Amino acid sequence: MEEQPSLISSKLFLKNRQVEVALSRAVLTWKEIKESKNRIPLIPQADLSHAVPVSEIVAVHKPEDEDQPQMRRTQKKNKESSQFVPYAFTVSYVRRMKQHQWQCSDVTFLCDSRGLCEQWIQVTNEQLSLLTNRPKSLLVYINPCGGKQRGKRIYEQKVAPVFRQAGIFTDVIVTERANHARDHLRTEANLDKYDGVVCVGGDGMFSEILHGLVIRTQRDHDVDQNRPDAELVSCLSRIGIIPAGSTDCICFATVGTNDPVTSALHIIVGDNQPMDVCSVHHKDSFLRYSVSLLGYGFYGDLLADSEKKRWLGPARYDLSGFKTFFCHNFYEGTVCFLPAEDSVGHPRDKLQCKSGCRICQHKLESKEKHKEMPEEKEKAGKDSNKGWNVVRGEFISVNSACMSCSCPRCPKGLSPSAHLADGTTDLILIKKCSRMNFFRHLFRHTNKQDQFDHSFVEVHRVKKFHFQPKVDSPEDQSYHPERTACGPKFSNPKISNYSTAVSSWTCDGEILHHAAIQVSVQHQLIRLFARGIEEQQ
């Protein structure tokens, strides 16, 4: 990085040692001034030198009350050594810890004049005010019932204090029922007042915010969401996720960890991660949007069963996973898909989507070019049914992962090389196989082996796909019989063969009421306060 001229630079004190502190437009640095190179200290001391990018400074302020005793102690010590240092300022900044976790660290510098201290605070604040991507005002929704029911406490104890420190104004709504946040965003919220929306909860709560924002944006622009080919309008508001749910895969896969303070810091520094969204339709009616896992068969049955065990908290998924695994159902149907261009890679190419991902950026550039394409040419492309592939068979599971879906349970994710913003989703087809083979496939999610390297697994990177069960589901026929114990439903009571049973879809952890669906990836429809997974330093 090119060295920039200092805006201010002074000799200050840090922990009773003299340091040279300098601030440029890009970076704040401090370096210890060693008295004499030959003098070796009796007790070895840690090196105080450090550099913090200005974009990662949370705030600069006078030391808070709790810092005062420490400051007074320092003053007393310095007085005794006839060096009186009464003024101080604290810089709070992002510190990277292990496994993508961020912490808010403080460093307090002592100055020998009030004027110098105030000058440092003013110059630093001026630089922070130039960072226009930072939110000043946020609308926060808390789900008090998600995960281990700790959403409210997590927000109040871990997140609100850092937002306060960064000078962010917040309006907080603790939801009182399911869909409260979605309905409020869709109809009431004055979004002009805020620079973003924060969701405190799990993937289900995120899904509410997603639906509220996307539905509102389409309505404001007169877009008919029921048309599967409608060109959707991207949402302007960015979404921040404070993880307080059971899986938290949307947070984990976009930030690298499910830690509330890390997420709060990504919001404060104003990160921006565009993200693809899948739209799900049944015939010509809109059903839902999805950003993580759309799963039919194994994951659909697992989720339907786990909903009855909500009281168990996150452990419900393990119990239902175990049960669903031993049911070993399979489902007959047809999958049609439109493969993505080769330029976006392949689910097995081991090219993980990282911060500033080239594949996602390349895709955005080609989208811009595509917009300039003459209308006739575009029409011709749309009209042809060319390029669609068909797979008919018996499936244990049909999964679509629009992102890696990495989460604490499965850190490499359901599709480790899926991209956050490339306009595609990874379609994973698990065909009928023995229970042992299915276990082998599942187990590979927990180690380094390729979970797609099995004869009964097919994986494709696609832009669109359709699924049609062999027999229409009750909902597809507008008929609602009782569910069977293990999850599958039978459209015809005479049919009691598992291969003809119908499952349901899980859509980011919410059950879909249709089995026959059309899915289309909406390129970069939303933006998050995140930056993707950073390379480990």
Ligand X SMILES: Nc1ncnc2c1ncn2[C@@H]1O[C@H](COP(=O)(O)OP(=O)(O)O)[C@@H](O)[C@H]1O
The footprint of ligand 1PX (CB under 6 A) covers 202-204, 245-249, 292-293, 299, 303, 317-318, 321-322, 325, 405, 407, 409-410, 414, 439, 442-443, 445-446, 506, 508-509
Residue 303 binding: pick among Ca ion, ligand X, ligand 1PX, none (C-beta 5-8 Å cut-off by kind):
ligand 1PX
Residue 402 binding: pick among ligand 1PX, ligand X, Ca ion, none (C-beta 5-8 Å cut-off by kind):
Ca ion
Cβ atoms 533, 352 nearer than 8 A: yes
Nearest distance from C-beta of residue 313 to ligand X, angstroms: 7
Q: Provide the strand spans (E) within 228-330.
A: 238-243, 273-282, 285-290, 293-297
Nearest distance from C-beta of residue 476 to ligand X, angstroms: 23
The backbone torsions φ and ψ at residue 381, rounded to the nearest 5 degrees and listed phi first, read -65, -40
Residue 321 binding: pick among ligand 1PX, ligand X, Ca ion, none (C-beta 5-8 Å cut-off by kind):
ligand 1PX
Nearest distance from C-beta of residue 276 to Ca ion, angstroms: 4
What are the Cα distances from residue 18, in Å, to 11, 35, 44, 53, 168?
A: 7, 9, 16, 21, 33
426 binds Ca ion (CB under 5 A): no
Tell me the HSE value of 124 on the side-chain side, using a 13 A CA sphere. Answer: 29
Cβ atoms 41, 48 nearer than 8 A: no
C-alpha to C-alpha distance for 98 and 208, rounded to whole angstroms:
31
Residue 143 binding: pick among Ca ion, ligand 1PX, ligand X, none (C-beta 5-8 Å cut-off by kind):
ligand X
Task: Tell me whether residue 423 or residue 509 sits nearer to ligand X (CB atom).
Answer: 509
The one catalytic residue in 67, 112, 203, 383 is: 203
Task: Tell me whether residue 245 or residue 333 sits nearer to ligand 1PX (CB atom).
Answer: 245
Beta bridge partners, 242, equal: 200
DSSP state of 153: H
User: How many other β-carbons are positioned within 10 Å of the β-carbon of residue 355?
Assistant: 13
First to last CA, the chain: 16
Task: Tell me whether residue 276 or residue 332 sits nearer to Ca ion (CB atom).
Answer: 276
Task: Tell me whether residue 158 or residue 445 sits nearer to ligand 1PX (CB atom).
Answer: 445
| Site residues (vs ligand X, CB under 6 A) | 143-147, 175-180, 201-205, 208, 245-247, 509-510
Task: Tell me whether residue 146 or residue 274 sits nearer to Ca ion (CB atom).
Answer: 274
Task: Tell me whether residue 354 or residue 412 sits nearer to ligand 1PX (CB atom).
Answer: 412
The structure tokens listed for 64 are 């808070």
Looking at beta carbons, which residue is closest to ligand 1PX? 509
Which residues, including other chains, have CB under 8 Å from residue 91's CB and lie 6 or more apart? Answer: 28, 52, 57, 59, 60, 106, 107, 109, 124
C-alpha to C-alpha distance for 173 and 328, rounded to whole angstroms:
42
What are the Cα distances from residue 376, in Å, to 71, 340, 365, 372, 379?
A: 72, 22, 21, 12, 5
Which of residues 203, 259, 271, 276 is near Ca ion by CB under 5 A?
276
Residues composing the chain: 537
Nearest distance from C-beta of residue 293 to ligand X, angstroms: 13
Site for Ca ion in 352-411 (CB under 5 A): 402
Residue 175 binding: pick among Ca ion, ligand 1PX, ligand X, none (C-beta 5-8 Å cut-off by kind):
ligand X
Catalytic residue check, 342: no
**One-letter amino acid of 376:** E
Looking at beta carbons, which residue is closest to ligand X? 202
Nearest distance from C-beta of residue 401 to Ca ion, angstroms: 8
Cβ atoms 276, 421 nearer than 8 A: yes
DSSP string, 324-381: HHHH---EEEEEEEEEPPGGG--TTS----BTT-HHHHHHHHHHHHHHTS-HHHHHHH
Residue 479 binding: pick among Ca ion, ligand 1PX, ligand X, none (C-beta 5-8 Å cut-off by kind):
none
Task: Tell me whether residue 422 or residue 508 sits nearer to ligand X (CB atom).
Answer: 508
Task: Tell me whether residue 283 or residue 310 sits nearer to ligand X (CB atom).
Answer: 310
Nearest distance from C-beta of residue 306 to ligand X, angstroms: 9
C-alpha to C-alpha distance for 216 and 67, rounded to whole angstroms:
46
419 binds Ca ion (CB under 5 A): yes
Task: Tell me whether residue 104 or residue 405 sits nearer to Ca ion (CB atom).
Answer: 405
Residue 419 binding: pick among Ca ion, ligand 1PX, ligand X, none (C-beta 5-8 Å cut-off by kind):
Ca ion
SS3 154: helix
Nearest distance from C-beta of residue 399 to Ca ion, angstroms: 14
The continuous run of DSSP H or E covering 71 comes out as: helix 68-80
**One-letter amino acid of 294:** L
Residue 249 binding: pick among ligand X, ligand 1PX, Ca ion, none (C-beta 5-8 Å cut-off by kind):
ligand 1PX
**One-letter amino acid of 158:** K
Residue 276 binding: pick among ligand X, ligand 1PX, Ca ion, none (C-beta 5-8 Å cut-off by kind):
Ca ion
Nearest distance from C-beta of residue 401 to ligand 1PX, angstroms: 8
- Tokens 């168990």 belong to which residue? 312
182 binds Ca ion (CB under 5 A): no
Residues forming the active site: 203
Which residues contribute to the site for Ca ion (CB under 5 A)? 276, 402, 419
